[in-house]
């Protein structure tokens, strides 16, 4: 396929907002490429040069792109950029004004353009910025205005196609069967090998056979994490799971560690490669783990007495600069609780009890990597006792796991059950993960922040649609307002997306793509006709920006369940103690 054909499909995708129409366009696109081209298309259409966890950084910012465009023969690029507000559209317009045509016979293949983009990303050392600028300018010069537009969007990571990985999985099923009936089988593969390009390639090669394929983990490719359901009491946990393993639930950072010989890679819950941020954890794994394996666990800061510290302490380590300085100020421990693969043997379909026994054999004793505190509980009373003891240790609760439960990658079920308790008994004790949909421009003091309040939403069922649940105007520090504004500026849209269901009262000044996930705490959930979720959060405030996929946010059904639990507890005269959604 030529890059011009791909650019035309990308243009179509930008012009539609309905998920079904996007699915059909993507299905048609993937039907016209071979397996290797499909892999590359999956990356490029998402504005990347590789999978999220291993996509080469082009090292090109807007200033460099402007310089590249000037080499085409237009000196006043900044003026056009100010008018268009988008550098992709800027280069398209400039090339058109230079009498370049979209109708010219472009013969550049997708793979040729991809290799040129990789060449730009790989340029390094002295004089590399000048080299990148020249390479980009030469590439744009060879392409039509439309093609050049998408090259710039890709290289800046600012695609506005508006679809998620899940939509791509839908499209692959649609490509094979003309419907979504193969979606679950394709998603099963993606959950274990979270590389969208490789999944597209595999589906193109396998077709219908994908439904019978057994997918095993691969060291170096992250697995979508298993997630826990919630319970409102030890009695419910006991009724569901019986004799189980109870573990501490830490308020830290979920980390998946991939160990192979002397190489260690760390992945966040959101599939980002964060290895460089935590050299102390990497060294600990090299010293204490001597088998090829994939570990799942929680990273957390502890004090000199080994007591868990609050999340605000741990999150200070999440940085790209001053890493060594902060490492000495905030040392971390990595508490592992699962083993997904060891020496090429997949364990995800093995019972939890077996995985734990093998985990004990894999991790040597040491200071950095530790086994998560765990106890077999044989009654409701023992669950309550372990829970109370864990709170005294500084945890946020416990996770109770079925001894015969498998590892449900990418899923939330009752194999794992989370149980947390309110520390203030004043309302909804814990947190809700939601997506930022839009914001209002700041007034007065907040005019300097750019944002005066922001609208959040939850997922509508399993769709790509979002329902509003709160507009937040308080509870953020000055720095958090500035950070939110900086994030929103990168993903603004001209109009409200069709996937957003919003009442007139909740309309925003500016709309953004659904890419920013926030963890929100509130005092109460109330019924509300003003919000399309049917509920509203009373006194909502930001806990943190979450590093997770939008597909993992709360759904309307989970909010409804929390509301019912809240009302049940209120009738009993107690506070609400419910886990984050």
Q: Where are the alpha helices (DSSP H) in 501-581?
A: 556-572
Find the farthest-apart pair of alpha carbons in the chain and give their distance in angstroms, rounded: 79
β-strand 345-346 against 332-342: which pairing, if any? antiparallel
| Cα 407 from Cα 225, distance rounded (Å) | 9
Torsion of Cα atoms, 187 then 191 then 197 then 203, to 10°: -40
Q: What share of the chain is helix, strand, coil (3-state, %, to 5)?
A: 40, 20, 35
| Cα 451 from Cα 467, distance rounded (Å) | 21
Three-class SS of 167-201 = HHHHHHHHHHHCCCCCHHHHHHHHHHCCCHHHHHH
Whether residue 448 contacts residue 442, with contact meaning beta carbons closer than 8 Å, is answered with yes
Give the tokens for residue 101: 């045509």
**Burial class, 396, CB count within 10 angstroms (exposed 0-12 / middle 13-18 / buried 19+):** buried
Give the tokens for residue 195: 């590389």
Residues contacting residue 126 through CB under 8 Å, at least 6 positions apart: none
- The region, left, alpha or beta by phi > 0 then psi within -120 to 50, assigned to residue 125 is left
Whether residue 10 contacts residue 45, with contact meaning beta carbons closer than 8 Å, is answered with yes
Which sign does the torsion angle of CA 278, 280, 283, 289 carry?
Answer: negative
Which residues are identified as catalytic? Answer: 249
| Cα 171 from Cα 163, distance rounded (Å) | 11
Q: b/e per residue, 399-418, with b = 16+ CB within 10 A? A: bbbbbebbbbbbebebbbbb
Cα distances (angstroms) measured from residue 289 to each of 147, 267, 273, 331, 554: 48, 17, 19, 19, 35
542 three-class SS: strand
> Which residue, 502, 555, 563, is CA-closest to 535?
563
Give the tokens for residue 151: 């090259």
């Amino acid at each position: 396929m030529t890059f011009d054909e791909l650019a035309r499909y990308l243009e179509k995708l930008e012009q539609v907002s309905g998920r079904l129409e996007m699915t059909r366009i993507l299905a048609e696109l993937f039907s016209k490429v071979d397996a290797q081209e499909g892999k590359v298309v999956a990356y490029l259409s998402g504005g990347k040069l590789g999978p999220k966890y291993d996509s080469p950084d082009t090292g090109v910012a807007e200033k460099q792109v402007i310089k590249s465009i000037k080499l085409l023969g237009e000196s006043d690029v900044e003026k056009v950029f100010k008018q268009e507000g988008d550098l992709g559209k800027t280069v398209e317009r400039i090339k058109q004004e230079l009498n370049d045509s979209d109708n010219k016979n472009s013969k550049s293949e997708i793979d040729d353009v991809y290799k040129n983009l990789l060449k730009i990303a790989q340029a390094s050392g002295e004089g590399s910025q000048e080299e990148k600028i020249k390479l980009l300018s030469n590439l744009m010069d060879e392409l039509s205005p439309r093609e050049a537009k998408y090259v710039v969007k890709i290289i800046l990571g600012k695609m506005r196609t508006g679809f998620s990985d899940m939509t791509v999985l839908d499209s692959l099923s649609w490509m094979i069967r003309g419907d979504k009936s193969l979606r679950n089988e394709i998603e099963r593969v993606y959950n274990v090998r979270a590389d969208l390009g490789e999944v597209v390639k595999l589906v193109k090669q396998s077709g219908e056979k994908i439904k019978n394929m057994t997918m095993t983990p691969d060291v170096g490719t992250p697995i979508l994490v298993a997630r826990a359901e919630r319970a409102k009491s030890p009695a419910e946990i006991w009724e569901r799971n019986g004799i189980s393993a109870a573990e501490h639930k830490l308020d830290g950072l979920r980390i998946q560690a991939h160990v192979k010989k002397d190489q260690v890679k760390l992945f966040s819950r959101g599939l980002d490669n964060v290895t460089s941020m935590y050299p102390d954890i990497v060294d600990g794994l090299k010293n204490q783990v001597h088998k090829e394996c994939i570990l799942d666990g929680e990273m957390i800061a502890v004090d000199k007495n080994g007591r868990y510290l609050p999340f605000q302490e741990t999150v200070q380590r999440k940085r790209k600069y001053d890493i060594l300085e902060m490492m000495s100020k905030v040392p971390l421990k990595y508490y592992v609780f699962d083993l997904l693969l060891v020496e090429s043997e997949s364990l995800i379909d093995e019972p939890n009890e077996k995985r734990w026994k093998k985990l004990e054999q894999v991790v040597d004793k040491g200071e950095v990597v530790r086994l998560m505190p765990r106890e077999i509980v044989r009654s409701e009373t023992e669950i309550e006792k372990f829970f109370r003891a864990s709170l005294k240790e500084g945890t946020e609760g416990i996770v109770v796991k079925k001894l015969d439960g498998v590892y449900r990658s990418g899923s939330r079920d009752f194999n794992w059950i989370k149980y947390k308790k309110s520390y203030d008994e004043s309302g909804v004790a814990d947190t809700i993960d939601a997506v930022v949909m839009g914001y209002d421009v700041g007034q007065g003091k907040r005019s300097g922040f750019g944002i005066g309040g922001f609208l959040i939403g939850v997922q509508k069922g399993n769709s790509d649609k979002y329902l509003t649940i709160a507009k937040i105007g308080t509870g953020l520090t000055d720095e958090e307002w500035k950070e939110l504004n900086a994030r929103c500026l990168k993903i603004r849209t001209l109009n409200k997306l069709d996937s957003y269901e919003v009442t007139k009262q909740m309309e925003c000044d500016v709309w953004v793509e659904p890419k920013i996930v926030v963890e929100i705490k509130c005092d109460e959930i109330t019924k509300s006709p003003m919000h399309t979720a049917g509920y509203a959060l009373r006194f909502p405030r930001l806990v943190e920006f979450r590093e997770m996929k939008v597909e993992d946010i709360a759904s309307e059904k989970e909010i409804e369940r929390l509301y019912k639990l809240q009302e049940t507890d209120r009738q009993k005269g107690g506070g609400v103690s419910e886990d984050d959604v």
